[in-house]
A and B are shown apart, each in its own frame.
Chain A
Amino acid sequence: MSYYISLLFNGLVSGGFVALMSLGMSIIFGMMRIVNFMHGSLYMLGAIIAYFLGFYFGASIWIGMLAASILVGVLGAILERTLIRRLYGLDLAYILILTTGLSLFLEDTVRNFYSVTSSAPFLVPQVLKGAVNLGFIVYPKYRLFVVVVSILLCLGTWFALERTRLGALVRAASERPSLLKCFGGNVPLLISGSFFFACALAGLAGALSAPMRNVSPYMGQEMINIVFAVVVAGGMGSIAGSVVMGFASGILQALMAIVYPQASTVIIYVLMLVILVVRPGGIFSGVDISQFPLHYTPMTERVRAFFLSRPAAMVALAVGFLLPWFVYPILATDIILWGLFAVGFDLLFAYAGLLSFGQAAYWGTAAYVMGVLAMTFGAPTWLAFIAGVAISTTLGLFFGLILARKKGIYFSMITFAISAIIAFVVNQFADYTGGEDGLHGLSRGTLFGMDLQNDRVYYHVCMAIVILVIFFLCRLLKSPYGLSLLGARENERRMMSVGYNVFFLRLKAYVLSAFIVSTAGALYALNHQFVTLEMVNWRASGEPVMMTLLGGAGTIFGPVLGAGIVVVMRNALSSITDNGSLYLGLLFITVILFARRGILGESLHNILDRQQNTSPHNGSDGKTAGNHSEPVHSSKEAADVD
């Protein structure tokens, strides 16, 4: 009996951290319709600050908590005022990139000063040391303290928001900011204040966890996923929902630890999936996010036409052929395959308007299926490759049927949950997939007599495949299907009223994207000759989002350029400096703030669209070399929407 009660308390402890973080994220979302993906880094900062104060100044947890919450809160408020404010009302993807860039930057900066992983037991003051005998159990005092603090804070916040005047003002500011301004409410102050409070909560949670958990620059990363799932399951923007789900998730994880430890993380995502299917919108009704604004800075007709034109293709081909002479061939293959992955993602994002957080599911599944068929069942490589891609695409069809009806954040979160479940399944069949160790020793085999073990030959084979896929994609986008897909993104109702089956349009796009990503994934595994869990990890799902937005969404070659930049930066920087992630983070932040269309997109927008505005004639100047001849009237009509 005492055993189960101890477990319950353990659950409340870890649930407490999640609840505090979810509370903060819900407040931010409720106020600003922004999902703060940086929350994990703020948690980490709180822990670091507490550790630092304890280690160097002998401070106790009281000071640690106070300092961490205030400092992190202030940092959050500053970031909100200077950076995040600029992205209000914009597509989730931009916020994701900005806050991810900030996370990378923060994590790497911290890593420079502090790289050892260890916990901070020295923070625990004498009064909280040791265990307390409650009669029915003997439990460590500090953990009990954590439970009490988190419950008190959550209750206090709820009370403040629901029963005090300040809380009423905050709620008003989140529901009807303009009306509140008319009544004289200082809305910007309320927003910044709420952001300060939410970030302070994260910092406090970090400080509280420092004596118990490994304090490391990356401790926020796993945290943020669980917190996000909890917030969605609880109802985005609902305080009660986040708190209840937060504690519930902790208890659930503690229970799984005794029943089936390997599933203790994935169970949260399964729960979230179940909740979203049974009761979309989360357990408690939060903010209605089906009206979530998805203002995406679109590509104009001219730029799109440029990308679908011949000269652009020529340039791309030239770069493609020359690449292995400038870069280590395996790296070059990595670039084009990540590029292909990003292109597959971009099809879904820019053309279908669906932000998928889980494309890595196909990237990895194709690779693993191919790997298992080749290694365990001895299938020849080419056969295993085709089977891998086919099975993975079929999986895409299956999930697409579930997903194609969803939109916005729910779509994104369900894709995330799906990829987490796939990662779990892969790890479960460790006898076949190698589990944590990965599947090594894949052979590339031969193709039509060419020995693919030669890295340069393999590069050109991959390039040929990438070219084929991109060519096919270009044709597709010029076709009636492509245009109807764009139409569905712009105005779903109108398309439906004209008679298009939007569900099928989206489903086709999803399956196509899964196919492209599967191909890229299987080729990638052959490039390195191994498959590891990294390929189904949520981080792999985030890469194409970064690469696409970096290069320019909706520009076909933009994602490939983005892939090139990210891969080369990661690789080159790792030999020059230890701070690769820091610079990458800065790059993301800069691009999102100043070049939202991506590097390629923004530069072309400046070259092509400015010309249209300054010259009295349209489009067909000699200056825009070889611009595809669009009919005159459509250039005039293309509204420059931003």
Chain B
Amino acid sequence: MRTMRKAAAVFTVISASLLFAGSADAQMMRDKYNILLLTDLSSSYSESSGPGDVAAAKLAIEEFGGKINGVPINLITADTKLDPAVAVNKARELIDTVGLSQITSLSGSSVALAVGKLANERKVLTTVADAGTTRLTNEDCAKYVFHIGYNTNAMSIPVKMLIKDGVKKWYLISADMAFGKSLRDSFAKAIKESGGELVGEDLTPFPADEFSSYLLKAKASGAQGVGLLSSGQDLRNVAKQAYEFGLLEAGIKIVPGQLNLSDVKGSGAEVWAGSLAALISYWDFDDETRKFAARFHKMMGFHPGDTHSSNYVAVREVLKTVEKLGTDDPDKVVAALEGLKTGDAISRNATWRKKDHMVEHDFYVGEGKQPKDIKDEDYFKIIATIPGAEALGSESESTCKHDW
């Protein structure tokens, strides 16, 4: 009698544990799917990233009804103030206390590199959507880190086009930090490969609001094109001052490090009229993009910029993968993302590359419209579409060791 009861008890326990063990394969790690959105909410990049990133992420989460595999999606936003130290501390604290399933945005290359190292150590899936340094997919590539959006190679496409048009001599004014240095390297490479000539360059302190000395130097050097290798507030300032000091009037072409809608608005459309810029996505491209833009506009009152849209794609694609797998186990998600081919209005012909974790997609070259032709934030005329591999650099060119 007693043995029977014992056996029954053991049987119950074993079957119960098997029941749980059975579903352990397809189980979420926690009772919430925590996404940490680390972006710049108050400093130089707050308009190109900032609240727009948050809105884009929310739009993606909305499409899943706020839940994934039965657990609620929890979006945690934190302000990095463009400071890697603040960002790493915040990320580490959240990883240690509530646990994270995804980190996204990471506005600013320095922040992205620092948090990427931490996230890789703690095995947290990270989608860097707001940074451009090529280091993320070369010497600093990591198993749990994916680089989506753009890199500085892609930003140098207009230079190649302009050199073909006869703008041979170039001057580069770069911000002295990871992003600026990566831009400088990418642009210098583009100039060399297309047969142009680098007549001079300057590394400027970051952040700064006074660029007139460097612009005057550029003008005096006889350059036909000037690379304004920064983004956000710094780019707005240097571009405005280029206009003020008559560089544009003298026929010098300017190419930005990374241009967003907010930057055109901030410097004034007359500054960018006729200039070429590489665009990650453009809200006014076709009806599909305009639909997304309308949803975004309703939430924020302005149209989505390049990096905002990248966040939308990053969050949405990872959520889709997690839904398909039934789990947010980082190793499984990484394996599923590697080699993933997707495509939609915002990132056309996209591939999540296996070797270097770069997300390839189509890029566009936009030409700034004249102020009188602009109706409502439609600042660009798309003059070319460039396939991702050509813009970003092909997978085989990457120096990533892929040692995982």
Contact flags B187-228 to A (C-beta < 8 A → 1, else 0): 000000000000000111111011011101101100000000
Q: What is the minimal beta-carbon distance from B394 to any residue of chain A, in angstroms?
A: 27
A118 and B214 in contact, given A214-B209, A435-B176, A438-B110 (Cβ under 8 angstroms) = no
Of A56-64, A195-203, A261-269, which stretch is located at the interface? A261-269
Q: What is the minimal beta-carbon distance from A539 to any residue of chain B, in angstroms?
A: 11
A117 interfacial by beta-carbon distance below 8 Å? yes
Of A152-160, A238-246, A505-513, A528-536, which stretch is located at the interface? A528-536
A445 interfacial by beta-carbon distance below 8 Å? no
Q: Which residues of A contact B93 (CB under 8 A)?
A: 328, 330
B233 interfacial by beta-carbon distance below 8 Å? yes
Q: Which residues of A contact B118 (CB under 8 A)?
A: 440
Contact flags B240-283 to A (C-beta < 8 A → 1, else 0): 10001110000000000000000000101000000000000000
Q: What is the minimal beta-carbon distance from B269 to any residue of chain A, in angstroms?
A: 13
Cα distance A328–B93 when bound, in Å? 8
Cα distance A115–B202 when bound, in Å? 30
A436 and B246 within 8 A (CB) = no
Of B7-15, B17-25, B39-47, B61-69, which stretch is located at the interface? B39-47
Q: What is the minimal beta-carbon distance from A427 to any residue of chain B, in angstroms?
A: 8
B295 interfacial by beta-carbon distance below 8 Å? no
A262 and B205 within 8 A (CB) = yes
Tell me the A549-574 residues at the B interface (CB within 8 Å).
none
Of B52-60, B82-90, B331-339, B357-365, which stretch is located at the interface? B82-90
A611 interfacial by beta-carbon distance below 8 Å? no
Give 13 A-B pairs besides A254-B213, A534-B85 with Cβ atoms closer than 8 angstroms: A3-B220, A212-B209, A214-B207, A214-B233, A262-B205, A330-B89, A435-B177, A436-B176, A437-B84, A528-B85, A530-B84, A532-B84, A534-B83
**Which of A257, A436, A455, A528 interacts with B89 by CB under 8 Å?**
A528
A3 and B88 within 8 A (CB) = no
A532 and B85 in contact, given A116-B47, A140-B245 (Cβ under 8 angstroms) = yes
B113 and A440 within 8 A (CB) = yes
Q: What is the minimal beta-carbon distance from B217 to any residue of chain A, in angstroms?
A: 6
A261 and B203 in contact, given A10-B212, A440-B84 (Cβ under 8 angstroms) = yes
A438 and B85 in contact, given A115-B42, A117-B233 (Cβ under 8 angstroms) = yes
A257 and B213 within 8 A (CB) = yes
Q: Which residues of A contact B237 (CB under 8 A)?
A: 119, 214
Q: What is the minimal beta-carbon distance from A151 to any residue of chain B, in angstroms?
A: 19
Q: Nearest B residue to A328 by beta-carbon distance?
A: B93
Q: Nearest B residue to A437 by beta-carbon distance?
A: B110
Cα distance A212–B220 when bound, in Å? 23
Tell me the A87-140 residues at the B interface (CB within 8 Å).
111, 115-119, 121, 131, 138, 140
Q: What is the minimal beta-carbon distance from A216 to any residue of chain B, in angstroms?
A: 9
A118 and B236 in contact, given A3-B216, A6-B216 (Cβ under 8 angstroms) = yes
**Which of B113, B204, B244 interacts with A140 by CB under 8 Å?**
B244
B381 interfacial by beta-carbon distance below 8 Å? no
Q: Which residues of B contact A119 (CB under 8 A)?
A: 209, 237, 240
A sample of 20 cross-chain residue pairs with beta-carbon separation below 8 angstroms, ordered by A number, consists of A3-B216, A6-B216, A7-B216, A116-B47, A119-B237, A131-B244, A140-B244, A212-B209, A214-B233, A257-B214, A261-B176, A265-B205, A328-B93, A330-B89, A330-B96, A437-B84, A438-B114, A440-B113, A530-B88, A534-B83
Q: What is the minimal beta-carbon distance from A340 to any residue of chain B, in angstroms?
A: 19
A441 interfacial by beta-carbon distance below 8 Å? yes
Q: What is the minimal beta-carbon distance from A271 to any residue of chain B, in angstroms?
A: 18
A440 and B114 within 8 A (CB) = yes
Task: Summarize B's interface: helix, strand, loop or mixed.
Answer: helix
**Which of B43, B210, B216 interacts with A117 by CB under 8 Å?**
B43
Cα distance A184–B190 when bound, in Å? 76
Cα distance A334–B245 when bound, in Å? 48
**Which of B89, B205, B209 interacts with A213 by CB under 8 Å?**
B209
B206 and A436 within 8 A (CB) = yes
A437 and B114 within 8 A (CB) = yes
Residues of A within 8 A of B (CB): 3, 6-7, 10, 14, 111, 115-119, 121, 131, 138, 140, 212-214, 254, 257-258, 261-262, 264-265, 328, 330, 435-438, 440-441, 455, 528, 530, 532, 534
B353 interfacial by beta-carbon distance below 8 Å? no
**Which of B97, B114, B176, B246 interacts with A530 by CB under 8 Å?**
B114
Could you count the A-B residue pairs with CB atoms below 8 Å apart for me: how many are there?
Answer: 107
B: number of interface residues (CB 8 Å): 47
B32 interfacial by beta-carbon distance below 8 Å? no
B46 and A116 within 8 A (CB) = yes
A261 and B205 within 8 A (CB) = yes
Q: What is the minimal beta-carbon distance from B219 to any residue of chain A, in angstroms?
A: 8
**Which of A7, A214, A265 interacts with B213 by CB under 8 Å?**
A7
A117 and B46 within 8 A (CB) = yes
B297 interfacial by beta-carbon distance below 8 Å? no
Q: Which residues of A contact B266 (CB under 8 A)?
A: 118
Q: Which residues of A contact B84 (CB under 8 A)?
A: 437-438, 440, 530, 532
A258 and B85 within 8 A (CB) = no
Q: What is the minimal beta-carbon distance from A628 to any residue of chain B, in angstroms?
A: 40
B160 interfacial by beta-carbon distance below 8 Å? no
Cα distance A530–B83 when bound, in Å? 12
**Which of A7, A261, A328, A441 interacts with B96 by CB under 8 Å?**
A328
Q: What is the minimal beta-carbon distance from A251 to any residue of chain B, in angstroms?
A: 11
Q: Which residues of A contact B178 (CB under 8 A)?
A: 436-437
Among all A-B residue pairs, the 5 with the closest Cβ atoms: A257-B213, A436-B177, A437-B110, A532-B85, A3-B220
B205 and A264 within 8 A (CB) = yes
**Which of A116, A257, A330, A437 interacts with B92 by CB under 8 Å?**
A330
Cα distance A6–B241 when bound, in Å? 13
Cα distance A480–B112 when bound, in Å? 53
Cα distance A118–B84 when bound, in Å? 23
Cα distance A115–B219 when bound, in Å? 34
